[in-house]
A and B are shown apart, each in its own frame.
Chain A
């Protein structure tokens, strides 16, 4: 299908021509071709790859730490009423604080180094995954748990075969939210201060009015966000195959 791509292609062409004719200054919006040449030259030096890799590592590490903690605590509070009683109210109160609002405190605590970025990302990811894991575990139908009891499933079998799969749709919603927050937080953290990463690259380029590199950075952020989203979709497809079985039944 070509039709849906006609409009974006036309826009790109108009944009390029507009820049060349001089309607749009380089400073406002660099032409698409210059973004492409910036990408190619940065790739040649290996600079682009290095910065993207650093940003991805930050995102992955922050996501794993925050997501892992959220998942673990979500399971604990979901499975055990006493733990819920002790923890849940406090966590629900903390949840209402926007994690980006505490940036000044984070800078005081961690300075502006790597750990501040990781902390921010982990904090942002923690809550959606915690909440959705907790709710997912609680939403597992009691009738199925009862069935598992009748069949004398041990605690591990009950968790593995009944509770975890039952909570999985909700957990994956949390993962998706979490990934969105990861990128957002990464951008904010890298823009505030960085000596490496995509954010550093764009802020550095801004100093020298290299707007094409700034725009390239923005595009890469968008692309990475899109890739992460595709990864969760793939994960959902794998883990929730039973959810989609109505559609795929015909092909099977």
Chain B
């Protein structure tokens, strides 16, 4: 992984660079920065096809939740319901106990495609919401994803992986309390993917926001999430806490046995 990734200043600067404990122990997240999420009897269908059956789910603030399942299993729909992009047919979505209507507050989202504005340079893309001091903040976010020197480039000249890193910087610059990831690494090559996974993990640990990652890659979910949820035919088929130290190794027998367990659930 390319180093020199600057730290993302979620904390006051006098704290200096975050101490990263050697030995791979997790840095305690700051739950105060995360959204507490509740879904109550939430369901959604398109036409006469039911994508999500009435579903109850609570996600603790600051948690990293992985959602896996076959395509068409309702993963992305669930994410869109949580973001407020789509309204549920029944039930309510609550952010910190408040019923959601419209786009969710303090929530950002990454998609499989970076969705950068091709007519704005990288820095302006990161600072899309503008606001006071956006240039400085955006520069800092770009530093955090290691792309500070590409601030003046057009998105079109970046590689796929770089574009996703810009999208990540854009998602984080506003200091979200909830980060929604809709297969953001699906289109990347294996090497870039691994780098991005570590980057996302680290920024999540520093930021302490709640994260929901939708992926079809079980290994990715097991590597990153505190909790993996399997969605099958619009229902929660498995809800499994993962309490392994970070960073996790793919070859770790505990990791592989978890992967097998989850895969079995998906394939049943």
Contact = CB atoms under 8 A, between A and B. Distances in A.
Interface of A: 143-144, 146-153, 157, 161-162, 165-166, 168, 240, 242-243, 245-246, 249
A153 B118 contact: no
A150 B118 contact: no
Contacts of A165: 117, 119-120
Nearest to B129: A151
Contacts of A153: 128-129
B43 interface: no
Given A151-B128, A242-B154, 18 more contacts: A143-B111, A144-B115, A144-B117, A146-B85, A146-B115, A148-B128, A150-B107, A150-B109, A152-B129, A153-B128, A153-B129, A157-B129, A161-B117, A166-B119, A242-B118, A242-B120, A245-B154, A249-B157
Contacts of B109: 147, 150
Nearest to B105: A152
B155 to A, nearest CB: 8
Contacts of A143: 111, 113, 115
27 contacts: A143-B111, A143-B115, A144-B115, A144-B117, A146-B85, A147-B111, A149-B103, A150-B108, A150-B109, A151-B108, A151-B128, A151-B170, A151-B174, A152-B103, A157-B129, A161-B117, A165-B117, A165-B119, A165-B120, A168-B119, A240-B119, A242-B154, A245-B156, A245-B157, A246-B156, A246-B157, A249-B154
A162 B117 contact: yes
Contacts of A243: 118
Interface in B171-205: 174
B83 interface: yes
A35 B130 CA distance: 58
Given A242-B118, A245-B157, A246-B156, A161 B103 contact: no
Contacts of A148: 128
Contact of A150 (B85, B113, B117): B85
B160 to A, nearest CB: 15
A242 B119 CA distance: 5
Contacts of B174: 151
A163 to B, nearest CB: 11
Contacts of A149: 85, 103
Contacts of B154: 242, 245, 249
Contact of B120 (A150, A151, A161, A246): A161
Contact of B103 (A150, A245, A246): A150
B130 A157 contact: yes
Nearest to A164: B119
Nearest to A169: B119
A146 B157 CA distance: 23
Contacts of A152: 103, 129
Interface in B135-177: 154, 156-157, 170, 174
Q: Considering the complex of A and B, which 6 residue pairs feature the smallest CB-CB distances, nearest first? A: A165-B119, A147-B115, A245-B154, A242-B119, A150-B109, A151-B129
A12 B73 CA distance: 75
B85 to A, nearest CB: 6
B128 A242 contact: no
A168 B128 CA distance: 19
B122 to A, nearest CB: 11
B151 to A, nearest CB: 13
Contacts of B107: 150
Contacts of B170: 151
A193 B232 CA distance: 76
Contacts of B117: 144, 161-162, 165
Nearest to A152: B103
Contacts of B118: 242-243
Contacts of B108: 150-151
